[in-house]
């Protein structure tokens, strides 16, 4: 019998790749509009009175957050799963009509949910919870989409030919299980129309109240960062960096140690969002302590990736994808050191509610998450579409423009945030506040402008990425995978 190489079916991966590109453009475009609105509030009025209601900060801000988190990032996670899962497990989606149906159904329902999110948020329907704004009917749709992903993960794992589970699969499974548990518990709510006969059909109230609601919300909220912005992105870099560089992972044992450290520690760090609040003091302290301990497994993964390039640092200069991934690992180290520092109670007293927190979030999302997704999709495109990358020089230009944008963004927000914190705490010899709130706003205006410029540069890079990917899909030179590098992990 002829021993032919396995033919992978990338239909669902292609769909999610396109969704990643579109939602990345939308989410980050809205973010830049918001940045300019904060620097120059009159920007919103330029859109006209008819649109002003739907484009003001309060409507667009949750749309930006969710489009980047659950649109761009989750689409990227799904795209890479339907690519990496097949290759690492040595099984094709085409071998199982059931799993192919599940994958396609998941994508279709996902797009329906995304459309419902956009419309509902623009119309003002929200639970008013960070990372959990969706009202109850949409929550049900999210759960169905997530369960379908779980069926895909465990279905492919069940029919795999590769006995060993590569570390990336561990991280994907962890992302699925943790988000499923956290999302369900945090979004338990009572639809008021059906229970009490009052209010909108869309409206609901949380099953928790007061301090308990805050505790459950930030148990979920910080772990949305842990298991959407971290765990599956680590899964990506453990696959794509060795594949692109031709280097084996520096230490498989360190990858497992970091995995179990993240799983145990990250779940309990959310309490640092509630320092100096009405939650019990021991919970605040636990959140702070676990946040500091979190440095160890986070840096374990990042250092493992950087050491994977040991002896091959010349590739950073020659390969734009290696640039993206190495800088992504570096930003991961920065943000996972900065976060625990902000969680220390004395630092939190200065930093909380300031723009320093905004800077922290965005050096992680723009520098770590987005750079890794860009690199992953660029690696996948030639193998999925059987075409060379349209322009490597454009890819390189994108890297430098976006790097400059990220640096302008987080440095301006660091300065703005620390300035805010110091001005809010300053008092005169009589114990009165030395500055009014508007004094702070006036001082911060230049930094808000710099942030908007940095965001605009980053958005230009996103448009470059979208154009490069579109041209790769449609017009680039055809190439067979046998002509491309095909190295570890797992010989995939």
Asked whether residue 2 carries a pLDDT value surpassing 50, the answer given is no
CB-based burial label for 98 (10 Å; 0-12, 13-18, 19+)? exposed
Res. 487: pLDDT tops 70: no
pLDDT attached to residue 1 = 37
Helices and strands of the chain, counted as H and E runs: 20, 2
52 vs 304, residue with greater confidence? 304
- Average pLDDT on 61-78 reads 96
Is the pLDDT assigned to residue 338 strictly greater than 80?
yes
CA atoms within 13 A on the CB side of 325: 33
C-alpha distances in angstroms, 340 versus 59, 313, 406? 31, 29, 20
d(CA 171, CA 131): 21
- Whether 102 shows a pLDDT value over 90: the answer reads yes
Question: Which is it for the CA torsion 361, 362, 366, 367, positive or negative?
Answer: negative
User: Residue 458: its pLDDT value, please?
Assistant: 98
Q: What 3-state class would DSSP assign to 100?
A: helix
Question: For the residues 325-352, what does the mean pLDDT come to?
Answer: 95
pLDDT at 61: 94
CATH superfamily name and code, 11-226+346-477: Cytochrome c oxidase-like, subunit I domain (1.20.210.10)
Convert the pLDDT of each residue in 122-161 to its tens digit. 999 999 899 999 999 999 999 999 999 999 999 999 999 9
What per-residue confidence (pLDDT) applies to 137? 94
> Which of 17-26, 157-166, 189-198, 259-268 reaches the highest mean pLDDT?
17-26
- Reply yes or no: is the peptide bond before residue 489 cis, omega within 30 of 0: yes
Q: For the segment 190-217, what is each residue's pLDDT rounded down to a tens digit?
A: 999 898 888 888 889 999 989 999 999 9
pLDDT of residue 262: 92
- State the pLDDT at residue 449: 97
Share of the chain above pLDDT 70, in %: 96
Query: Percent of the chain, pLDDT > 90?
Result: 84
Where is mean pLDDT largest: 34-48, 96-110, 216-230? 96-110
* Per-residue pLDDT at 48 exceeds 70: no
Q: Given this model, what pLDDT does residue 187 score?
A: 93
Lowest mean pLDDT segment, chosen from 64-73, 307-316, 440-449, 473-482: 473-482
Per-position DSSP letters for 128-167, written without gaps between them:
--TT----HHHHHHHHHHHHHHHHHHHHHHHT-S-SS--H
First to last CA, the chain: 22
Cα–Cα distance, 166 to 456 (Å, whole number):
38
Helical spans, DSSP H, in 294-391: 295-308, 314-318, 320-343, 345-351, 355-364, 371-385
Between 286 and 42, the more confident residue is 286
What is the DSSP annotation of 56-74? SHHHHHHHHHHIIIIIIIH
Per residue in 163-175, pLDDT (tens digit) is 999 999 999 999 9
Going by pLDDT thresholds of 50, 70 and 90, the confidence category of residue 267 is confident
Q: Is the pLDDT of residue 243 over 90?
A: yes
Give the mean model confidence (pLDDT) for residues 381-390: 94
Q: What's the pTM value of the predicted model, to 2 decimals?
A: 0.94
Residue 128: φ, ψ to 5° = 60, 35
Res 489: pLDDT: 58
Residue 385: predicted pLDDT: 95
Average pLDDT, the chain: 93
pLDDT bin (cut points 50, 70, 90) of residue 488 is: low
Please list, in sequence order, all residues whose beta carbon lies within 8 angstroms of the beta carbon of residue 86, skipping any fewer than 6 positions away: 8, 9, 10, 92, 93, 156
Averaged pLDDT, 73-88: 97
């Amino acid at each position: 019998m002829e021993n032919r190489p396995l033919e992978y079916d990338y239909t669902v991966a292609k769909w999610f790749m396109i969704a990643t590109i579109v939602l990345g453009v939308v989410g980050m475009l809205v973010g830049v509009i918001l940045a300019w609105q904060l620097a120059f509030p009159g920007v919103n009025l330029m859109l006209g009175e008819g649109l002003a209601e739907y484009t003001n900060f309060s409507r667009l801000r949750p749309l930006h957050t969710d489009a980047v988190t659950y649109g761009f990032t989750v689409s990227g996670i799904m795209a890479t799963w339907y690519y990496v899962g097949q290759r690492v497990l040595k099984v094709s989606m085409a071998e199982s009509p059931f799993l192919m149906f599940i994958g396609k159904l998941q994508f279709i329902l996902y797009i329906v949910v995304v459309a419902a999110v956009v419309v509902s948020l623009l119309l003002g329907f929200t639970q008013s919870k960070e990372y959990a704004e969706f009202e109850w009917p949409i929550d049900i749709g999210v759960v169905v989409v997530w369960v379908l992903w779980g069926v895909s993960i465990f279905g492919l794992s069940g029919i795999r030919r590769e006995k060993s589970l590569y570390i990336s699969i561990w991280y994907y499974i962890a992302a699925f299980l943790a988000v499923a548990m956290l999302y369900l518990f945090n979004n338990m709510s009572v639809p008021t129309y059906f229970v009490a006969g009052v209010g909108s059909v869309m409206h609901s109230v949380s099953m928790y109240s007061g301090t308990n609601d805050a505790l459950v919300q930030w148990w979920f909220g910080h772990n949305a960062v842990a298991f959407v912005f971290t765990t599956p992105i680590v899964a990506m870099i453990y696959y794509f960096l060795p594949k692109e560089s031709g280097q084996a992972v520096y230490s498989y044992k360190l990858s497992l140690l970091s995995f179990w450290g993240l799983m145990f520690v990250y779940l309990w760090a959310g309490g640092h969002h509630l320092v100096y609040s009405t939650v019990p003091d021991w919970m605040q302290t636990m959140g702070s302590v676990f946040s500091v301990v979190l440095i160890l497994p986070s840096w374990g993964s990042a250092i493992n990736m950087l050491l994977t390039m040991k002896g091959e640092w010349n590739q950073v200069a020659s390969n734009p994808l290696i640039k993206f991934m190495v800088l992504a690992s570096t930003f991961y180290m920065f943000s996972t050191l900065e976060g625990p520092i902000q969680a220390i109670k004395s630092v939190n007293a200065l930093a909380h509610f300031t723009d320093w927190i905004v800077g922290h979030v965005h050096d992680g999302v723009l520098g770590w998450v987005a750079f890794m997704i860009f690199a992953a999709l660029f690696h996948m495109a030639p193998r999925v579409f059987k075409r060379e990358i349209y322009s490597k020089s454009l890819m390189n230009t994108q890297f430098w423009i976006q790097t400059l944008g990220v640096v302008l963004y987080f440095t301006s927000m660091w300065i703005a945030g620390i300035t805010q914190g110091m001005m809010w705490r300053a008092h005169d010899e009589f114990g009165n506040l030395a500055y009014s709130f508007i004094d702070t706003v006036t001082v911060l205006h230049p930094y808000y402008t710099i942030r908007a410029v940095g965001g605009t540069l980053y958005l230009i890079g996103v448009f470059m990425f979208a154009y490069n990917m579109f041209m790769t899909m449609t017009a680039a030179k055809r190439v067979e995978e046998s002509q491309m590098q095909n190295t570890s992990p797992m010989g995939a």
